[in-house]
Amino acid sequence: MITKAEEADGPAINHIAASIDLFSPEEVKCVAELWREFTQKGPEASGYSFLILKEDGVVKGFACFGPRSLTQSTFDLYWIAVDPKAKRNGVGRALMEQVEKEVAGVGGRLLIAETSGQEKYAPTRAFYEGIGYCREATVRDFYAPGDDLVIYTHPLL
């Protein structure tokens, strides 16, 4: 079941972020900061919305998204993460479908997902490509030397 995240889901969200091998300590900290902003200010003032997927009452994954400032109805997918023990069960795909519905429901027009071009992110890129996202652009050496930014886009209308 996918629902909007509530305050009590914070520990599970942060725990999942910390359990993702690909996430650096800075990235885990960034998830925690966005979560704090979201719980303190709410989705509108913070600009962040969180969805969670629960199975038998246990959070198996989450997604965080929000509107991109200075654009007309473009939204960023900031984070998506699935409990490593729950992989290959369609959790990520189900979360993305709900993110798309939520974003389209508030008039969102374009969803942007950014990831790394590193070899270890090949499964992440395969995930976006598998759900039909367009590999729209690459910024070489963006994250670090040899670590490109890859921008995926998905039109919603």
26 contacts a second copy (rule: CB under 8 A): yes
Number of chain residues interacting with a second copy (CB under 8 A): 27
96 in Cβ contact with 103 (< 8 Å): no
Whole-number Å distance between alpha carbons of 114 and 14: 20
By CB under 8 A, residue 136 contacts a second copy: yes
- Phi, psi at 147, each rounded to 5°: -120, 95
- Give the residue, chosen from 3, 71, 90, 93, that forms a contact with a second copy under the rule CB under 8 A: 71
Residue 129 found at the interface with a second copy (CB under 8 A) = no
Phi, psi of 87 (to 5 degrees): -60, 155
By the rule CB under 8 A, 37 interacts with a second copy: no
Query: Positive or negative CA dihedral for 121, 126, 129, 130?
Result: negative
| 143 touching a second copy, by CB under 8 A | yes
Chain positions contacting a second copy, by CB under 8 A: 24, 26-27, 30, 69-74, 109-110, 112, 136-145, 147, 151, 153, 155
